[in-house]
Structure 1
């Protein structure tokens, strides 16, 4: 599971104005069929109008919204059969984690967001195969490619904020401005308190998928493993590789218990792995 929050930029990456351009772009595969916390089949026009209206006390050049991309792996998609209903339920769970990650005591209903499930992805300039000339840019990628785009307002839900304030449930003068791109992480002092821990969010949405759908995730599919292989120390990488070997050996042993006696001869490759695992200090 990849949970990505794109940085800003020009074109569709520019977030200081209306979200209309991004919404129009995300209509390319199928029109409509947006969903939110508690609604289905929302039109693109309503998405733009609602998100653009949910802002207060933001400078002209300030970000007004953000995008969250949730991209299950092909193994995860096979596990749930690429079921759109399950993906919508998962998205709502992921956005609950998004709200909680700010450390401000808010929930998914304190956000304004709309999401859409897409089933196709094409190659771009960042793909290695495009860079080396093996495939052309814009070519459809093979296999299950279902993913979710979420557009979420930077400002907390103003309707709910106003209702809670009028009911005396809070005394905050202004609504929260929520940026997942802040460099603050669980800060307790200063102008910005709370913040947003992006690494923690990636792990949380991964664990949410596993719990929601009973997915038994191999270590090599975890965010922790991928992050360590890219940024970890040699010692940390060695420990994780040893754990992968042990996990594979245990999987092979479990597989043998389901086989007939004639099938239970241990392959030489597994015997070799067993020797390597025994020699590693975990």
Structure 2
């Protein structure tokens, strides 16, 4: 799972103005089919009008909206069969994490956002295949490519804020201005309190997917592993690689051990052998598989 909050790109050059350009760009694959926390099939024109209205006490040059991109891996998409209903539910869960990550005690319903599911992706200049000349820019990528684009207002949900203030539930003079691109992280003093920890957000949305869909994520598919491979020391990376190899071995051995246990269960019903026989078989599987896999991993590196 990749969760990105891009600061530039198509439709993001005018964040201080209308979100109309970004909405128009995201209409390229299919028109309509926007959704929010509690609505489906919202028209693009309504998305633009609603987000553009949702601003207060922001300078003319200040950002008015941001984009969040959720990109499940092909393994994750296969796990949920790219089910649009599950992807929409997951998007809403991810935006609950987005709200919580500001450390201001707000929820998803305190945000103003609209999202859209896309199913195609094309190659760009950063793709390895383009850089080495194997593919041209703009070609459709193979395999499942479903991902979600979310446009979220910098200002909290104004209708809800106004309603809560009138009811006496909040005593803040102004609504929150929420920027996921801030450099503040869990600050407790100064003009800006709270902040937004982007690394933490990536980990939280990954965990939200695993919990929602019972996905058993290999270490090599975690944000922690990918981040460490880019930023950790060589020794730290080596430790993680060894851990990943061991995990891969266990994934291969356990099914075989389970099959052996089924055979033993039938045998036990007739002869009642000692339980140590099961343990011996599992150990034998590890002894035979581990050296082979270690050599294979070594050759790849």
Q: Which moved more, 1:264-273 or 1:225-234?
A: 264-273
CA distance in structure 2 between the partners assigned to 1:90 and 1:11 by the alignment = 24
Please say which structure displays the higher CA radius of gyration. Answer: 2
Verify: 1:117 aligned to 2:117, yes or no.
yes
2:196 aligns to what? 196
1:67 aligns to what? 67
Contact 1:68–1:151 (8 Å) recurs in 2: yes
Q: What is the aligned-residue RMSD (CA, Å)?
A: 2.0
1:36 aligns to what? 36
1:135 aligns to what? 135
Q: Which moved more, 1:127-136 or 1:80-89?
A: 127-136
Query: Structure 1 residue 177: deviation in Å?
Result: 0.3
- Corresponding residue SS for 2:169: coil
1:272 aligns to what? 291
Residue 160 to residue 267, structure 1, CA distance change in 2 (3 Å): closer
Query: Structure 1 unaligned runs (5+)?
Result: 277-282
2:169 aligns to what? 169
Query: Structure 1 residue 232: deviation in Å?
Result: 0.5
- Corresponding residue SS for 1:172: coil
Contact 1:32–1:43 (8 Å) recurs in 2: yes
Contact 2:114–2:152 (8 Å) recurs in 1: yes
CA distance in structure 2 between the partners assigned to 1:104 and 1:24 by the alignment = 32
Contact 1:35–1:114 (8 Å) recurs in 2: yes
Using the size of structure 2 for normalisation, the TM-score is: 0.87
1:102 aligns to what? 102
CA distance in structure 1 between the partners assigned to 2:86 and 2:288 by the alignment = 38
Query: Structure 2 unaligned runs (5+)?
Result: 264-281, 296-301
CA distance in structure 1 between the partners assigned to 2:251 and 2:10 by the alignment = 48
Query: Structure 1 residue 100: deviation in Å?
Result: 0.3
CA distance in structure 2 between the partners assigned to 1:109 and 1:271 by the alignment = 50
Query: Structure 1 residue 271: deviation in Å?
Result: 3.2
CA distance in structure 1 between the partners assigned to 2:232 and 2:89 by the alignment = 33
Query: How many positions carry a matched residue from both structures?
Result: 275
Residue 232 to residue 269, structure 1, CA distance change in 2 (3 Å): farther
Contact 1:245–1:273 (8 Å) recurs in 2: no
